Amino acid sequence: MWKWLHPYAKTENAYQLCVTLQPWLWLGALLCLAVGTVWGLAFAPQDYQQGDSFRIIYIHVPSAMLSMGTYVAMAIAALVGMVWQWRTAYMSMIAMAPVGAVMTFIALFTGAAWGKPMWGAWWVWDARLTSELILLFLYIGVIALYGAFEDKQQAGKAAGVMALVGVVNIPIIHYSVEWWNTLHQGATISKFDQPSIAPEMLWPLLISLFGFAFFIGAVTTVRLRSEIVRREMHRPWVQKLAQATSENS
Amino acid sequence: MNPRRKQRLAVVGIVGLLIVSAIGLMLYALNDSIDLFYTPSEIIEGKQGQMPHVGQRLRIGGMVVPGSVSRDSKSLAVSFDLIDTGPIVTVTYTGILPDLFREGQGIVATGVLTSATEITAQEVLAKHDEEYMPPELAEKMKGIKHEKPANMPVTDASSSYQYEASPELESETVSELGSKSKPGGQ
């Protein structure tokens, strides 16, 4: 079943996959982000309670959901690296880490900017906000740990352990608003129930969610390509590639 | 899968399971400390058999009882009642209330317990629910009309927000607030 994945354990194949995927991911990101944000920020109706302030949802919710999604993807990559010992797995893990960290930061920042006018506070130490902050620290920890080792193979293993351990935080973030009483409201769309948002507000939200996902994918492929090239500099295929590029320019 | 991979997967799995259960137990033990606020019934009936004592600094979260808001005409002082499933706690506060504050709204207030059922708050935060809808739909479904505070005539009587909640809505919100305070049914 997973046989089709096996070639991508080789860095050259993984690099080629990134090259193929990249334009499509950028195209998807550009289209969805343009449609989603313009629709959401300019054309979706106002909220009955929060007026125009609610529009920050079109940035806050996608970035928050994908900060968690990217972390799970990173942890899966770490698991693959650990069990199957794929070098490309650790490389893609570290390619995703800063992207996820930025998403987490955007989620926290837009949340604070939303909290001030609506709740009356930039920050409250409730379970949801605190666990999302811990997620940011986990990302930073993974990046720092990876950077601390000279030997990048060792670095990948160490950072991978940290990424895997930190994955317990993901269900905590998601269920924090149900397990404890918090200032943050419950889930609007990520639940096994009808979304509690009017359809004309939901559509742009879903589109910008896809836009963010494509964007993360696109940035990750760029980072993975450069990571592979940096680590495989001595390989003949990379040298051939470098030669071809310099001849073209 | 070859035996070495199987072994590595098992090790990762077991270590992962141990970490998950350790953190799960920790959070379970800390359950009450993680809650952001006391509900009015927890203040009056106690939480886990422990009554909050007078003079304690705490947070309370509940729904503003419709018709209970009274403002002082000369200052920013305001007092209102909070309710969740039955017991009522009175909050007094001096300062500017958040825009979303109105009767029937969920509120979180930080302050000092001055008597068994009274709190003097230093900070009042508004909680909003996870529902988003256009104003016309809200009016149709919930009978809520939220006017911007800027358009409000200044009166010293109760709040000037129009709030005509249907009885079902009130009980719905109250039960939602009440059910949230007890995670894991303990």
Q: Which tens digits make up the pLDDT trace of B47-60?
A: 877 788 888 898 99
A74 domain-assigned: yes
Least confident of A208-212, A219-223, B45-49, B86-90: B45-49
Contact call for residues B42 and B58 (beta carbons, < 8 A): no
The alpha carbon torsion through A24, A25, A27, A31 (nearest 10 deg) reads: 140
Which whole number is the average pLDDT over A81-91? 91
Which site among B6, B42, B59, B133 would you substitute to test the A interface, given the most A Cβ atoms closer than 10 Å to its Cβ?
A: B133
> Quick one: closest CA in B to A160, which residue?
B12
Number of neighbours of residue A130 by Cβ within 10 angstroms = 18
Which region, left, alpha or beta, applies to residue B30 given φ > 0 means left and ψ of -120 to 50 means alpha? Answer: alpha
> Which chain B positions have a beta carbon within 8 Å of A40's beta carbon?
none
Contact state of B127 with A185 under an 8 Å Cβ cutoff: yes
Say if A194 falls within a structural domain.
no
Question: To 10 degrees, what angle do helices A127-148 and A169-179 make?
Answer: 170
% residues pLDDT > 70 (chain A): 100
pLDDT higher than threshold 60 for residue B186: no
Does the beta carbon of A45 lie under 8 angstroms from any beta carbon of chain B? yes
Tell me if A197 and B131 make a contact (CB, 8 A cut-off). yes
Reported for A227-233, long-range contacts at CB under 8 A and 24+ positions apart, including other chains, are A227/A91, A227/A94, A227/A95, A228/A11, A228/A14, A228/A15, A228/A18, A228/A88, A228/A91, A229/A15, A231/A11, A231/A87, A231/A91, A231/A152, A232/A11
User: Which residue, among B151, B46, B62, has the nearest Cα to A51 in the 3D structure?
Assistant: B151
Position of tokens 């409730």? A126
Count of C-beta atoms within a 10 Å radius of residue B54: 11
- Mean pLDDT across chain B: 77
Q: Is B6 exposed, middle or buried (0-12, 13-18, 19+ CB in 10 A)?
A: exposed
> Number of helices and strands (H, E) in chain B?
5, 6
CB B97 within 8 Å of CB B80? no
Supply the pTM of this predicted model. Answer: 0.84
- Residue A137 clears pLDDT 70, i.e. is over it: yes
pLDDT at B147: 52
pLDDT at A74 over 90: yes
- For residue A179, give the nearest of B61, B131, B183 by CB distance: B183
Inter-chain touch A180–B12, beta carbons under 8 Å: no
Q: Identify whether the C-beta of residue A68 lies closer than 8 Å to the C-beta of residue A170.
A: yes
Residue B32: band (very low, low, confident or very high) from pLDDT cuts 50, 70, 90:
confident
Nearest C-alpha neighbor of B105 from the set A196, A116, A50: A50
Q: Does A190 touch chain B (CB under 8 A)?
A: no
Please tell me the predicted confidence (pLDDT) of residue B143. 65
Q: Nearest CB to B5: which of A45, A83, A200?
A: A83
Q: Is the pLDDT of residue A155 over 60?
A: yes
How many domains is chain A partitioned into structurally? 1
Contact with chain B for residue A198, Cβ under 8 A = yes
pLDDT for res B142: 66
CB contact under 8 A, A124 and B36: yes
CB–CB of A117/A53 below 8 Å?
yes
Q: Is the pLDDT of residue B162 over 70?
A: no
**Architecture of the B40-182 domain:** Beta Barrel (2.40)
Task: Give residues 105 to 164 of B whose Cβ lies within 8 Å of A.
Answer: 108, 123-135, 137-139, 144, 146, 148
Could you tell me what percent of chain A has a pLDDT over 90? 66
B134–A198: do the CB atoms touch at under 8 Å? yes
CB contact under 8 A, B130 and A185: yes
Residue A27: the pLDDT is 96
List, for residues A5-29, the tens digit of each pLDDT value: 888 888 889 999 999 999 999 999 9
Q: Are A49 and B100 in contact (CB under 8 A)?
A: yes
pLDDT at B145: 60
Q: Strand, coil or helix: what is B28?
A: helix
Structural domain spans, chain B = 3-34, 40-182
- If DSSP codes are grouped into helix, strand and coil, which group holds residue B64? strand
**In this predicted model, what pLDDT tens digit does every residue of A161-219 receive, in sequence order?**
999 999 999 999 999 988 888 889 888 888 777 888 888 889 999 999 999 999 999 99
Query: Cβ neighbours of residue B142 under 8 Å, at least 6 residues apart?
Result: B165, B166, B169
User: pLDDT value at position B175?
Assistant: 45
Min Cα separation B123/chain A (Å): 9
Which chain A residues are closer than 8 Å to B20 by Cβ? 168
Q: Which domain holds residue A49?
A: 21-186+200-236
pLDDT of res. A3:
82
pLDDT band of B178, cuts 50, 70, 90 = very low
Of A90-99, B16-25, B118-127, B175-184, the least confident:
B175-184
- Phi/psi of residue B77, nearest 5 degrees: -65, 140
Q: Is residue A231 part of a domain?
A: yes
Cβ A119–B36 below 8 Å, yes or no? no
Q: What is the pLDDT of residues B60-73, one digit of tens each?
A: 999 999 888 888 88
- Interface test with chain A among B12, B21, B31, B34, by most A beta carbons within 10 Å: B34
Evaluate whether residue A95 is within a structural domain: yes
**Amino acid letter at A112?**
A
Average pLDDT across chain A, whole number: 91
Quick check: is A47 in a domain? yes
CA distance B132 to chain A (A): 5
DSSP B153: P
Q: Is A31 exposed, middle or buried (0-12, 13-18, 19+ CB in 10 A)?
A: middle
Q: Which residues of B touch A120 (CB under 8 A)?
A: 97-98, 123-126
